[in-house]
Structure 1
Amino acid sequence: MPSRRSFLQAGSLAPFLSILPAQTPPSLSKPTRLKPGDTVGLFCPAAPAYSQETVKIAQESLMALGFQTKLGPHIYDRYGYLAGRDADRAADLHALFDDKSVKAIMAIHGGWGCARLLPLLDYDLIQRNPKVLIGYSDVTALLLAIYAKTGLVTLHGPVGSATFNAYTVDWFKRLLMDGEALTMRNPTEKGDNLTQVQDRITTLRPGLARGRLVGGNLTVLSHLIGSPYLPDWKNTILFLEDTHEDIYRVDRMLTHLKLAGILNQIAGFVFGKCSDCNPSNGGYGSLTLDDILAEHIVSLAKPAFSGAMIGHIRDKFTVPLGIDAEIDATAGTIRLLESAVS
Structure 2
Amino acid sequence: MLRRRFLQSAGLGAAALATPVVLASGDRQPPVRPAVRPPRLRPGDTVGLVAPAGIVYTRADLDEAVGHLDGLGLRALPGRHVLARDGYFAGTDAQRAADVTAMFADDRVDAVMAMRGGWGAARALPFVDWDAVRSNPKVLCGFSDNTSLLLATYARAGLVTFHGPNASSDLDGFSGESFRRVVMDADAATLRTSTTPLSGPATITSGRATGPLVGGNLSVLVSLVGTAWLPDLAGHVLFVEDIGEGIYRIDRMLTQLGQAGLLADLAGFVFGACPRCDPDSGPVDGFTLDEVVRQHVGPLGVPAFQGAAIGHTSRKLTVPLGAEAEIDADAGTLRLLAPAVA
CA contact (8 A) 1:21 1:226 kept: no
After superposition, the Cα gap between the structure-2 partners of 1:173 and 1:281, relative to the gap in structure 1 and judged at 3 Å, is: same
| Residue 157 of structure 1 pairs with residue 164 of structure 2 | yes
Corresponding residue for residue 285 of structure 2? 285
Does residue 187 of structure 2 align to residue 180 of structure 1?
A: yes
Question: What is the CA–CA distance in structure 2 between the aligned matches of 1:25 and 1:53, rounded to whole Å?
Answer: 38
Matches within 5 A, 1:34-183: 34-183=41-190
Aligned counterparts of 1:20 and 1:99: Cα–Cα separation in 2: 31
RMSD: 1.8
Distance 1:171 1:200 in 2: 25
Which residue number corresponds to residue 4 of structure 2?
none
Equivalent residue for 2:31? Answer: 25
**What does 1:221-300 align with in structure 2 at a 5 Å threshold?**
221-300=221-300
Contact residue 170 and residue 176 of structure 2 kept, 8 A = no
CA shift for structure 1 position 26: 2.8
> Which has the higher Rg, Structure 1 or Structure 2?
1
Residue pair 2:193, 2:317 contacting (<8 A) in 1 also: no
Distance 1:127 1:181, change over 3 A: same
Task: Kindly state the Cα deviation for residue 23 of structure 1 after the two structures are TM-superposed.
Answer: 3.1
Partner Cα separation in structure 2 for residue 180 and residue 55 of structure 1? 29
2:335 is aligned to 335
Q: Does 1:308 align with 2:315?
A: no
Deviations 1:282-321 (A, max 9, x none): 2422211111111100111111000001010101110000
1:147-169 CA deviation, whole Å, 9 max, x = no partner? 00110100000001111121111
Counterpart residue identity of residue 242, structure 1 = D
| Partner AA of 2:230 in structure 1 | L
Instruction: Determine if contact 1:199/1:308 at 8 Å carries over to the other structure.
Output: no
Deviation readout 1:179-199 (Å, 9 max, x if unpaired): 01111122157xxxxxx9x99
CA distance in 1: counterparts of 2:240 and 2:124, whole angstroms: 22
**Structure 2 Cα separation of the partners of residues 188 and 277 of structure 1:** 26
Bigger mean CA offset, 51-60 vs 263-272 = 51-60
Cα deviation, residue 99, structure 1: 0.7
Contact 1:200–1:307, Cα closer than 8 Å, also in 2: no
- Taking the aligned partners of 2:324 and 2:235, their CA distance within structure 1 comes to 10
Comparing 150-159 with 161-170, greater Cα deviation is found at 161-170
CA-to-partner distance for each residue in 1:33-73, whole Å, 9 max, x for gaps?
Answer: 10011001111110010122221111011112111110101
- 8 Å CA contact 2:52, 2:121 repeated in 1: yes
SS for the counterpart of 2:273 is strand
Q: Deviations over 1:222-262 (max 9, x none)?
A: 00000011111111100000000000100000000001101
CA gap of 1:65–1:200, structure 2 versus 1, over 3 A, is: farther
Deviations 1:188-222 (A, max 9, x none): 57xxxxxx9x9997000000011110000000000
The alignment partner of 1:82 has SS state of coil
Amino acid at match of 1:25: P
Q: More deviation in 228-237 or 130-139?
A: 228-237
Question: Could you say which residue in structure 2 is the equivalent of 1:6?
Answer: none
CA distance in 2 between counterparts of 1:20 and 1:308 reads 33
In structure 1, how many angstroms separate the alpha carbons of the residues matched to 2:172 and 2:285?
38
65 and 110 in structure 1: CA distance in 2 versus 1, 3 angstrom threshold:
same
SS in 1 for 2:70: helix
Query: What stretches of structure 1 of length at least 5 have no aligned partner?
Result: 1-18, 190-195
Task: Decide whether the 8 Å contact of 1:134 with 1:155 is kept in 2.
Answer: yes
Gap regions ≥5 residues in structure 2 = 1-24
**Equivalent pair of 1:324/1:336 in contact (CA under 8 Å):** yes
Q: Give the aligned partner of residue 19 of structure 2.
A: none
**Structure 1: how far apart are the matches of 2:125 and 2:96?**
11
What secondary structure sits across from 2:141 in the alignment? strand
Instruction: State the percentage of identical aligned residues.
Output: 49
Q: Distance in 1 between matches of 2:152 and 2:46?
A: 24
Give the TM-score, by structure 1 length.
0.89
Distance 1:326 1:20, change over 3 A: farther
Q: 1:74 to 1:200 in 2, by over 3 A?
A: farther
Give the whole-Å Cα distance in 2 for the aligned partners of 1:199 and 1:96. 42
* TM-score in terms of structure 2 length: 0.89
Secondary structure at 1:273 match in 2? coil
* Contact 1:111 1:137 (C-alpha < 8 Å) held by counterparts: yes
1: CA distance, partners of 2:278 / 2:90: 30
Question: Is the contact between residue 199 and residue 309 of structure 1 (CA under 8 Å) also seen in structure 2?
Answer: no
